[in-house]
Amino acid sequence: MKHIGKARAYTNIALIKYWGKKDEQLILPMNSSLSLTLDAFYTETEVTFDPALSQDCFYLNDRLQNKEQTKKISKFLTIFRNKYSISHYASVDSRNFVPTAAGLASSASGLAALAGACSAALSLELSPQELSKLARRGSGSACRSIFGGFAEWRKGDSDDTSFAVQVPASSWENELSMLFILVNDTQKDVSSRDGMKRTVDTSIFYQGWLTGAADDLELAKQAIAENNFSALGEVAESNALRMHGTTLGAVPPFTYWSPDSLKAMNLVRSCRMRGIPCYFTMDAGPNVKVLVQKKDQEKLYHFFSEHFNEKQLILANTGPGLEILKPERLMDND
């Protein structure tokens, strides 16, 4: 019998970053993190556990992926198979919905959708917490994409205690937006996985990062509880800068910033001086994301459109949590 499941998950952007693992196998983080799920980028994934298959296969946007590209998916499926005693290989058909081909392919939405699809395929009816733990095994940030709005990934210290939870915001999160500024990247990539490992292993600034991150998380949660936009923005911006600071202290040193990243960060400061409250954050790449209140999003967009072209600017609002699209069972003779 085939088992088919399909799910959609939205990407999330961390306001307090996950940066460093204490267990690479289980993907347990060194610090807790906090994110906002967004509606502009998402992944839909259909999984078919099929007794007729002799290996896993992975299609991304209709293209069959090679062995190397399939490895991460297959590894995740094996974790799932072992945990829930299913022996079949699977076909994974995944589609990334990203407004432009801008290097924003997200492992967060991808692995969260895969975890949801696997669970739906086997009608497991897992709790969000269990799904979050599973998604984490695929990619750390994916554990936060199980939830809409704000999510906190509590670092825990074991497979069972490391998962994300919803951060209640009395729907204040619906008043927030994020402007993505897609800048040109001429630098050689250091993946987030390699980048965080290198900083944990070698950066003399890493201990400082850890000390600050714990305090930043508390400040961010307090700001959310008080619906205090400037307090949330300030801590998010300084947390991102500290994360990026660790890369300069690594051996060999590296940075994700490009000249255009700096240009965008400076423009955010100019915007603030002009009375539009907004704050930037950056991840393991040169793109800059700007947190803004929805009521100011048009003004912010207009300001940035004088410095970047239309294709480089994407506005997103707060997005929902994991959605199951297809819980279905088909019989052998279909």
Q: Which stretch binds ligand 2P0 (CB under 6 A): 134-142, 163-171, 290-298, 302-310?
A: 134-142
Under the criterion CB under 6 A, does residue 286 sit at the interface with ligand 2P0? no
Which one of 14-22, 166-174, 175-183, 216-224 is the stretch in contact with ligand 2P0 (CB under 6 A)?
Answer: 14-22
Cα separations (Å) of 136 from 9, 107, 213, 283?
14, 11, 20, 18
> Rounded to the nearest whole angstrom, what is the least distance from the CB of residue 143 to ligand 2P0 in the complex?
9
Site string for ligand 2P0, 184-223 (x = CB under 6 A): --------xx------------------------------
Residue with token string 């990934």: 153
Nearer to ligand 2P0, 32 or 297 (CB): 32
Residue 189 backbone dihedrals phi, psi, to 5 degrees: -75, 140
Q: What angle do CA 26, 287, 195 make, to 5 degrees?
A: 35
Q: For ligand 2P0, which residue of 32, 70, 139, 247 counts as binding (CB under 6 A)? A: 139
Look up residue 136 and give its two tokens: 């984490």
* Residue 328 Cβ vs ligand 2P0, minimum distance, rounded to whole Å: 29
Q: Which CB sits closer to ligand 2P0, 236 or 267?
A: 236
Nearer to ligand 2P0, 139 or 287 (CB): 139
User: Is 246 a binder of ligand 2P0 (CB under 6 A)?
Assistant: no
Q: Strand pairing partners for 154? A: 163
Q: Which is nearer to ligand 2P0, 233 or 327 (CB)?
A: 233
**Cβ distance to ligand 2P0 smaller for residue 30 or 86:** 30
* Among 299, 320, 238, 291, CA closest to 11: 320
Q: What are the angstrom distances between the C-alpha of 39 and each of 42, 60, 109, 212?
A: 7, 20, 11, 29
* Rounded Cα distance, 307 and 260, in Å: 10
* Cβ-based nearer residue to ligand 2P0, 37 or 107: 107
| Alpha-carbon separation of residue 113 from 48, 110, 121, 137 (angstroms) | 14, 5, 12, 13
Among residues 9, 284, 300, 316, which is the contact residue for ligand 2P0, using CB under 6 A? 284
Please give the distance of CA 4 from its chain centroid, rounded to a whole number: 25
Give the residue at shortest CB distance from ligand 2P0.
140
- 17 makes contact with ligand 2P0 (CB under 6 A): yes
CA nearest to 256, candidates 305, 299, 192, 300: 192
Min dist. Cβ of residue 103 to ligand 2P0 (A): 13
Spatial neighbors of 32 by CB under 8 A, at least 6 apart, are 16, 152, 153, 154, 155, 213, 214, 217
Task: Name the residues that contact ligand 2P0, by CB under 6 A.
Answer: 14, 17-19, 27, 33, 107, 139-141, 192-193, 283-284
